[in-house]
Amino acid sequence: MFTSAVAAQELYTCYLGLKLGLYGALAEDSATSTQLAERTETAERYTREWLEQQAAAGIITVDDAGKPASERVYELPAGHAEALLAPDSPYSVAPIAVLPMGATGPVLPELISAFRSGSGVPYVAYGDDSRDGHAGSNRALFTHNLAEWVRNALPDVHNRLLIGGRIADVGCGAGWSSIALAKAYPDVQVDGYDLDEQSISDARRNAAEHGVADRVVFQVRDCADSSLVGQYNLVCIFDALHDMSRPVDVLRSCRSLLSNGASVLVMDAKVAEEFTAPAGEVERFLYAASVLHCLPVGLAEQPSAATGTAMRPATVDAYAEKAGFSKTQILPVEDMYHRFYRLIG
């Protein structure tokens, strides 16, 4: 518990560094506490304490710890700057601080109430940090790996998309998966659907900034819309199915979107095949995320399947069968945190 408390408190100080621009200012140039406070318009005494704490934690370096406090010069190593400040980097870790510290902390009173009543906590209650943190946590993965995974694990889908078609990205969030697919397949139209208005606003801005807004359309829309039936060569649900209150209904709607011979691609948490205790670190991380966010969000709408993050392969199989799919295939994709499923028929 003590080591967990150390880690939790250090994550809070990382959150401060991100939100106050302290890391960004240090990445530009090394600084004393006075210089950094001036650059970031923060109080020197607070900034000095933060710098000393960050150096003690090994996140930044100091030129000479023996100097008087006002004369010490602090630096953010280049590798640490990339991990904290480059959202497209495969090494980006900033969302790990933003999500639990900025999003979960403020809703703890609501979580306590939900535990007692059995109700849920709406996604919007977790605020901007939740939306930004979830989008950021998968951004680099989609940017650098998604197209390669489709090409290697789904060569038939890859070859079809090379000549055009349409992709539906259900639960698209900030749109990074849609943008990555559009860049990989320049003759494809991608339609991103989400029920969160702010996420769709973020997605539209991101698509415009990355030059694909002409082929990527984001809408606040339910994929059960009958006008979409049979329109898509591929339907995707990335890191979202376990959060959905009615996953079977969503999969059934996704199935209706498919053109002949098309399939649904689901990416979700790579939890263990079966419950074990004690568990490894990845399973522990995912279970904590479930208690604090995913299960409460899933319970916010009723009736609810109350899936939680620990959506095991057998559960996906059961959901797919109830939705009318004839086969569920686990794709041979190597990733520590995610598992890919292809739902067929």
Both tokens assigned to 327: 């086969």
Question: 225 pLDDT band (50/70/90 cuts)?
Answer: confident
Region 172-178: what's the mean pLDDT? 97
Cis geometry, peptide bond prior to residue 68 (ω within 30 degrees of 0): no
Query: Does position 48 have pLDDT exceeding 90, yes or no?
Result: yes
Query: Does position 231 have pLDDT exceeding 90, yes or no?
Result: yes
Rounded Cα distance between 49 and 295, Å, is 37
pLDDT of residue 115: 97
Which tens digits make up the pLDDT trace of 258-301?
A: 999 999 999 999 999 999 999 999 999 999 999 999 999 999 99
pLDDT of residue 345: 86
pLDDT of residue 146: 96
Rounded Cα distance between 277 and 275, Å, is 7
Rounded Cα distance between 251 and 96, Å, is 29
pLDDT of residue 100: 86
- DSSP, collapsed to helix, strand or coil, labels residue 154 as coil
Region 154-179: what's the mean pLDDT? 97
Q: How far is CA 321 from CA 58, 243, 255, 315, 342, in A?
A: 50, 19, 11, 10, 13
How many helices (H) and strands (E) the chain has is answered by 16, 9
- DSSP, collapsed to helix, strand or coil, labels residue 306 as coil
pTM for the complete prediction? 0.93
Rounded Cα distance between 62 and 78, Å, is 14
